[in-house]
Amino acid sequence: MTTINGKGDAFVPPLVSIISGGIAGGVEAAVTYPFEFAKTRVQLRQEKGEKPPRNPFKIVGQVYRQEGIRALYKGCGALVTGSVAKDAIRFVSFDSVKNAFKDPETGTLTYGRSMLAGMAAGVLASGTAVTPTERIKTALIDDARHDKRYKSAVHCVKTILKEDGPIGMYRGFAGTTLKQASATSFRMGSYNILKDFEQLRDIEQTTVVNFGNGAVAGTITTLATQPFDTIKTRSQSAKVTTTMEAIIGIWKDDGIRGFWRGTIMRLGRTVLAGGVLFTTAEAVARIITPIYEKAPAVL
């Protein structure tokens, strides 16, 4: 929804970024959740002798047969709520930092500064929205495998606060922040680099082009940041685990390969998610920007 150089690089009003980013985040999370569920399941510590399939479709099918359709959306509400807040913050902070980083004379933004703007947006999103909601989602998915203590997302939050205090909501903060900083840097940065390249060559920004750019950005993001995602998932399981304990546990279980566990599942989700996220954000921005411009005093 933003560009970094050349034509079409205009100031994006913060309210437009918040609304378009929030709506896009909620839509993306809801549409792609079964992939997120499968990826989280395979990243969690397995019981002795338990070997889950690596194919996400097999995991989805297995859970559906054994536990029903509702099980596939365990923790979805928390993720959707968090994604609305996360992407609203991520888009508005990225656009704000991007505008601050522009060359004051030419109005352009280098590729390096575009990536840095994405990193700053990721850190802010992690601290304000992502870590707590990811903690709830992961704990719900982990708990549903065996203990089944949590009756709902609200009950999960109450239990975590009772047993571990407020810090319990921020378990995995280091891993989540590393993941968010790097992921947002790669996703937002690479998307804007692709978009800028196309605009310099007069390639029309259609829905198909937006979706393709988002899918490519999602692929780059997944391959570059998977270890952080695996560490984050382990440290946010139902059982209290520190980031260092998660790293040691992954290494003991699977060695270096363990840090890329769930890559195929996450790749399946992020390719679709990247396309949905940026396509939705661009579409919403196109709708609300004229409204904003016509009624600045109200908005």
Domain boundaries, the chain: 14-294
Instruction: Give the per-residue pLDDT at 50.
Output: 60
What are the 10-residue block averages of pLDDT along the chain, 299 residues in total? 44 82 89 81 66 66 80 80 84 81 69 82 85 87 83 90 90 84 84 83 87 89 86 78 84 86 77 85 88 64
Instruction: Give the per-residue pLDDT at 49.
Output: 58
From residue 236, alpha-carbon distances to 29, 55, 190, 191 in Å are 19, 23, 28, 29
Instruction: Give the per-residue pLDDT at 69.
Output: 80
Q: C-alpha 84: how far from its chain's center?
A: 10
Within 13 Å and on the Cβ side, how many CA atoms surround 213? 29
The topology under which CATH files domain 14-294 is: Mitochondrial carrier fold (1.50.40)
Instruction: Give the per-residue pLDDT at 3.
Output: 40
Helices within 14-126 (DSSP H only): 14-43, 56-67, 76-101, 111-125
Threshold 0.75, pTM exceeds: no
CB 218 within 8 A of CB 183: no
Alpha-carbon gap, residue 41 to 45, rounded angstroms? 9
Instruction: Give the per-residue pLDDT at 11.
Output: 63
Instruction: Give the per-residue pLDDT at 159.
Output: 93
Q: C-alpha 171: how far from its chain's center?
A: 17
